[in-house]
A and B are shown apart, each in its own frame.
Chain A
Protein backbone atom coordinates (compact mmCIF):
# COMPACT_ATOMS: atom_id res chain seq x y z
CA UNK A 1 0.00 0.00 0.00
CA UNK A 2 1.45 3.37 -0.92
CA UNK A 3 1.72 6.00 1.74
CA UNK A 4 -0.61 8.27 -0.25
CA UNK A 5 -3.26 5.56 -0.15
CA UNK A 6 -2.65 5.08 3.55
CA UNK A 7 -3.08 8.82 4.20
CA UNK A 8 -6.31 8.88 2.21
CA UNK A 9 -7.62 5.94 4.19
CA UNK A 10 -6.90 7.69 7.47
CA UNK A 11 -8.55 10.91 6.28
CA UNK A 12 -11.66 9.29 4.84
CA UNK A 13 -13.60 9.40 8.12
CA UNK A 14 -12.42 12.89 9.10
CA UNK A 15 -14.62 15.97 9.08
CA UNK A 16 -13.23 19.48 8.61
CA UNK A 17 -15.23 22.69 8.91
CA UNK A 18 -14.44 25.68 6.71
CA UNK A 19 -15.75 28.99 8.09
CA UNK A 20 -15.86 31.28 5.06
CA UNK A 21 -15.38 30.31 1.41
CA UNK A 22 -13.33 33.21 0.07
CA UNK A 23 -9.60 33.32 -0.58
CA UNK A 24 -8.60 31.24 2.43
CA UNK A 25 -11.60 28.91 2.57
CA UNK A 26 -11.94 27.98 -1.10
CA UNK A 27 -8.23 27.22 -1.53
CA UNK A 28 -7.97 25.39 1.80
CA UNK A 29 -11.05 23.28 1.04
CA UNK A 30 -9.67 22.28 -2.35
CA UNK A 31 -6.34 21.22 -0.81
CA UNK A 32 -8.16 19.12 1.79
CA UNK A 33 -10.35 17.60 -0.92
CA UNK A 34 -7.34 16.65 -3.03
CA UNK A 35 -5.68 14.87 -0.12
CA UNK A 36 -8.81 12.89 0.70
CA UNK A 37 -10.57 14.39 3.75
CA UNK A 38 -13.88 12.52 3.68
CA UNK A 39 -16.29 15.25 4.67
CA UNK A 40 -16.11 19.03 4.47
CA UNK A 41 -18.58 21.36 6.17
CA UNK A 42 -18.47 24.68 4.30
CA UNK A 43 -20.24 27.90 5.25
CA UNK A 44 -20.50 31.34 3.61
CA UNK A 45 -23.30 33.82 2.89
CA UNK A 46 -21.75 35.44 -0.17
CA UNK A 47 -21.89 35.07 -3.94
CA UNK A 48 -18.94 34.80 -6.34
CA UNK A 49 -17.90 38.18 -7.78
CA UNK A 50 -15.49 39.04 -10.59
CA UNK A 51 -13.18 40.70 -8.04
CA UNK A 52 -12.83 37.35 -6.22
CA UNK A 53 -11.15 35.65 -9.17
CA UNK A 54 -7.74 37.16 -8.32
CA UNK A 55 -7.36 34.66 -5.47
CA UNK A 56 -10.40 32.50 -4.82
CA UNK A 57 -10.89 28.99 -6.22
CA UNK A 58 -13.77 29.90 -8.52
CA UNK A 59 -14.12 30.38 -12.25
CA UNK A 60 -15.46 33.17 -14.46
CA UNK A 61 -18.57 31.19 -15.36
CA UNK A 62 -19.42 30.87 -11.65
CA UNK A 63 -19.82 34.63 -11.04
CA UNK A 64 -23.18 35.23 -9.35
CA UNK A 65 -23.43 31.74 -7.82
CA UNK A 66 -23.48 31.27 -4.04
CA UNK A 67 -19.89 30.54 -3.02
CA UNK A 68 -20.88 27.38 -1.15
CA UNK A 69 -22.63 26.03 -4.26
CA UNK A 70 -19.71 26.87 -6.55
CA UNK A 71 -17.16 25.43 -4.11
CA UNK A 72 -19.13 22.22 -3.67
CA UNK A 73 -19.23 21.86 -7.47
CA UNK A 74 -15.47 22.43 -7.74
CA UNK A 75 -14.71 19.94 -4.95
CA UNK A 76 -16.88 17.33 -6.68
CA UNK A 77 -15.06 17.93 -9.96
CA UNK A 78 -11.91 16.83 -8.10
CA UNK A 79 -13.47 13.96 -6.14
CA UNK A 80 -17.16 13.19 -6.38
CA UNK A 81 -17.06 10.94 -3.31
CA UNK A 82 -16.25 13.70 -0.81
CA UNK A 83 -19.25 14.61 1.31
CA UNK A 84 -19.82 18.36 1.29
CA UNK A 85 -22.29 19.91 3.73
CA UNK A 86 -22.86 23.43 2.48
CA UNK A 87 -24.43 26.13 4.61
CA UNK A 88 -25.39 29.39 2.91
CA UNK A 89 -25.61 31.63 5.95
CA UNK A 90 -23.85 34.29 8.01
CA UNK A 91 -21.93 32.53 10.76
CA UNK A 92 -22.44 33.91 14.29
CA UNK A 93 -21.81 32.82 17.89
CA UNK A 94 -25.17 31.02 18.01
CA UNK A 95 -24.90 28.93 14.85
CA UNK A 96 -21.15 28.13 14.82
CA UNK A 97 -21.39 25.39 17.50
CA UNK A 98 -24.33 23.86 15.61
CA UNK A 99 -22.85 24.03 12.10
CA UNK A 100 -19.39 22.72 13.10
CA UNK A 101 -20.34 20.42 15.98
CA UNK A 102 -19.25 17.22 14.20
CA UNK A 103 -15.96 18.60 12.88
CA UNK A 104 -12.58 17.28 14.00
CA UNK A 105 -11.02 20.64 13.14
CA UNK A 106 -12.41 24.06 12.15
CA UNK A 107 -10.64 26.36 9.70
CA UNK A 108 -11.17 30.10 10.16
CA UNK A 109 -11.28 31.58 6.68
CA UNK A 110 -12.98 34.95 7.02
CA UNK A 111 -11.72 38.19 5.53
CA UNK A 112 -12.76 40.63 8.25
CA UNK A 113 -10.78 40.86 11.47
CA UNK A 114 -14.01 41.25 13.46
CA UNK A 115 -15.27 37.89 12.19
CA UNK A 116 -11.91 36.26 12.96
CA UNK A 117 -12.17 37.59 16.52
CA UNK A 118 -15.76 36.36 16.75
CA UNK A 119 -14.95 32.76 15.82
CA UNK A 120 -11.87 32.56 18.08
CA UNK A 121 -13.97 33.81 21.02
CA UNK A 122 -16.91 31.54 20.14
CA UNK A 123 -14.81 28.38 19.84
CA UNK A 124 -12.86 29.23 23.01
CA UNK A 125 -16.05 29.81 24.98
CA UNK A 126 -18.51 27.31 23.49
CA UNK A 127 -16.36 24.56 21.93
CA UNK A 128 -13.39 24.33 24.32
CA UNK A 129 -10.53 22.20 23.05
CA UNK A 130 -11.80 22.06 19.45
CA UNK A 131 -8.81 22.71 17.16
CA UNK A 132 -9.21 26.01 15.28
CA UNK A 133 -6.80 26.91 12.47
CA UNK A 134 -6.73 30.62 11.57
CA UNK A 135 -5.21 32.76 8.83
CA UNK A 136 -3.80 36.07 10.03
CA UNK A 137 -1.60 38.27 7.83
CA UNK A 138 -1.59 37.54 4.10
CA UNK A 139 -1.84 40.88 2.32
CA UNK A 140 0.48 41.94 -0.48
CA UNK A 141 3.26 39.92 -2.06
CA UNK A 142 6.74 38.55 -1.43
CA UNK A 143 8.26 38.33 2.08
CA UNK A 144 8.00 34.54 2.09
CA UNK A 145 10.14 34.17 5.16
CA UNK A 146 7.75 36.27 7.28
CA UNK A 147 5.02 33.64 7.00
CA UNK A 148 4.80 31.06 9.75
CA UNK A 149 2.59 29.30 12.27
CA UNK A 150 2.08 30.01 15.97
CA UNK A 151 0.08 27.83 18.34
CA UNK A 152 -1.79 28.97 21.45
CA UNK A 153 -3.55 26.02 23.13
CA UNK A 154 -6.03 24.75 20.54
CA UNK A 155 -5.70 27.82 18.25
CA UNK A 156 -3.22 27.57 15.37
CA UNK A 157 -2.46 30.85 13.58
CA UNK A 158 -0.93 30.82 10.09
CA UNK A 159 0.31 33.91 8.26
CA UNK A 160 2.72 36.77 8.71
CA UNK A 161 0.72 37.95 11.77
CA UNK A 162 1.31 41.54 10.73
CA UNK A 163 0.18 42.82 7.34
CA UNK A 164 -3.42 43.94 7.20
CA UNK A 165 -5.25 44.23 3.90
CA UNK A 166 -5.27 47.82 2.59
CA UNK A 167 -5.57 49.59 -0.77
CA UNK A 168 -1.77 49.41 -1.11
CA UNK A 169 -1.56 45.79 -0.01
CA UNK A 170 -4.54 43.86 -1.38
CA UNK A 171 -5.11 40.14 -0.87
CA UNK A 172 -3.82 38.46 -4.05
CA UNK A 173 -3.41 34.87 -5.13
CA UNK A 174 0.12 33.80 -4.16
CA UNK A 175 0.23 34.92 -0.52
CA UNK A 176 -3.44 34.09 0.12
CA UNK A 177 -2.84 30.68 -1.43
CA UNK A 178 0.25 30.10 0.71
CA UNK A 179 -1.64 30.85 3.92
CA UNK A 180 -4.69 28.84 2.80
CA UNK A 181 -2.49 25.84 2.05
CA UNK A 182 -0.59 26.37 5.28
CA UNK A 183 -3.93 26.14 7.08
CA UNK A 184 -4.68 22.89 5.20
CA UNK A 185 -1.22 21.60 6.08
CA UNK A 186 -1.83 22.36 9.75
CA UNK A 187 -5.18 20.55 9.58
CA UNK A 188 -3.34 17.47 8.30
CA UNK A 189 -0.83 17.63 11.14
CA UNK A 190 -3.70 17.80 13.63
CA UNK A 191 -5.50 14.88 11.97
CA UNK A 192 -2.49 12.66 11.19
CA UNK A 193 0.05 13.69 13.83
CA UNK A 194 3.51 15.04 13.17
CA UNK A 195 5.52 13.44 10.36
CA UNK A 196 8.58 12.86 12.52
CA UNK A 197 6.58 10.99 15.16
CA UNK A 198 6.44 7.96 12.89
CA UNK A 199 2.95 8.75 11.66
CA UNK A 200 4.02 8.74 8.01
CA UNK A 201 4.89 5.09 7.62
CA UNK A 202 2.26 3.14 9.51
Chain B
Protein backbone atom coordinates (compact mmCIF):
# COMPACT_ATOMS: atom_id res chain seq x y z
CA UNK B 1 0.00 0.00 0.00
CA UNK B 2 1.03 3.57 -0.51
CA UNK B 3 1.45 5.96 2.39
CA UNK B 4 3.16 9.28 2.98
CA UNK B 5 6.11 8.91 5.35
CA UNK B 6 7.92 12.07 6.45
CA UNK B 7 6.54 14.05 3.50
CA UNK B 8 7.49 11.38 0.92
CA UNK B 9 5.37 8.79 -0.84
CA UNK B 10 6.35 5.27 0.23
CA UNK B 11 5.12 1.84 -0.72
CA UNK B 12 5.00 -0.58 2.20
CA UNK B 13 3.79 -4.19 2.30
CA UNK B 14 0.02 -4.70 2.29
CA UNK B 15 -1.65 -6.18 5.33
CA UNK B 16 -1.94 -5.37 9.00
CA UNK B 17 0.98 -3.10 9.71
CA UNK B 18 1.24 -1.19 12.96
CA UNK B 19 3.31 1.90 13.63
CA UNK B 20 5.76 -0.36 15.51
CA UNK B 21 6.01 -2.66 12.46
CA UNK B 22 6.72 0.32 10.21
CA UNK B 23 9.54 1.50 12.50
CA UNK B 24 11.14 -1.96 12.25
CA UNK B 25 10.50 -2.24 8.51
CA UNK B 26 12.07 1.15 7.81
CA UNK B 27 14.90 0.44 10.26
CA UNK B 28 14.55 3.60 12.35
CA UNK B 29 17.22 2.99 14.96
CA UNK B 30 17.27 6.22 16.95
CA UNK B 31 16.28 5.64 20.58
CA UNK B 32 13.79 8.49 20.98
CA UNK B 33 11.07 8.84 18.35
CA UNK B 34 7.92 10.90 18.03
CA UNK B 35 5.32 9.18 15.86
CA UNK B 36 2.20 10.68 14.32
CA UNK B 37 -0.47 9.24 12.03
CA UNK B 38 -2.55 11.79 10.13
CA UNK B 39 -1.34 14.50 12.48
CA UNK B 40 -2.38 12.65 15.61
CA UNK B 41 0.30 11.72 18.15
CA UNK B 42 0.87 7.99 18.66
CA UNK B 43 2.71 7.52 21.95
CA UNK B 44 5.37 4.83 22.29
CA UNK B 45 3.14 2.47 24.28
CA UNK B 46 0.41 2.63 21.60
CA UNK B 47 2.62 1.96 18.58
CA UNK B 48 1.82 -1.75 18.43
CA UNK B 49 -1.92 -1.05 18.58
CA UNK B 50 -2.28 1.62 15.89
CA UNK B 51 -2.59 0.25 12.35
CA UNK B 52 -1.53 2.09 9.23
CA UNK B 53 -4.05 2.31 6.38
CA UNK B 54 -3.67 3.03 2.69
CA UNK B 55 -3.08 6.74 2.14
CA UNK B 56 -2.14 7.56 5.74
CA UNK B 57 0.22 10.43 6.45
CA UNK B 58 2.83 9.11 8.89
CA UNK B 59 5.54 11.12 10.62
CA UNK B 60 8.48 9.58 12.47
CA UNK B 61 10.81 12.13 14.08
CA UNK B 62 13.93 11.37 16.08
CA UNK B 63 15.38 13.46 18.87
CA UNK B 64 19.00 13.46 20.05
CA UNK B 65 20.73 15.31 22.88
CA UNK B 66 22.52 18.64 22.61
CA UNK B 67 21.69 22.24 23.29
Contacts and interface: CB of A to CB of B under 8 A. Distances in A.
Contacts of A23: 67
A16 interface: no
B9 interface: no
Count chain A CB atoms within 10 A of each CB in B31, B36, B59, B63 and give the residue with the most: B63
A114 B61 contact: no
A161 B6 CA distance: 14
A120 B61 contact: yes
A113 B6 contact: no
Contacts of B61: 120, 152, 155, 157
Given A117-B32, A120-B34, A124-B36, A111 B66 contact: yes
Q: Give the contact-size bracket for chain B.
A: 10 to 19
A151 B34 CA distance: 14
Interface stretch (A30-38, A69-77, A134-142): A134-142
Contacts of A139: 66
A157 B64 CA distance: 11
Given A113-B32, A117-B32, A120-B61, A125 B41 contact: yes
B41 A121 contact: yes
Contacts of B62: 136, 161
A41 B66 CA distance: 21
A152 B59 contact: yes
A121 B32 contact: no
A161 B32 CA distance: 12
B41 A124 contact: yes
Contacts of A116: 32, 63-65, 67
B7 interface: yes
Interface string B24-44: 000000011110100101010
B29 to A, nearest CB: 12
A153 B67 contact: no
A165 interface: yes
Across chains A and B, which 9 residue pairs bring their CB atoms closest together, nearest first? Answer: A111-B67, A116-B63, A165-B66, A164-B64, A113-B65, A24-B67, A113-B63, A124-B41, A138-B66
16 contacts: A22-B67, A25-B67, A113-B31, A113-B64, A116-B32, A120-B34, A135-B67, A137-B66, A151-B7, A152-B59, A157-B61, A161-B64, A163-B66, A164-B64, A164-B65, A176-B67
Given A113-B31, A117-B33, A176-B67, 13 more contacts: A23-B67, A111-B67, A116-B65, A117-B63, A121-B34, A121-B43, A124-B41, A128-B39, A135-B66, A152-B36, A152-B61, A161-B62, A161-B64
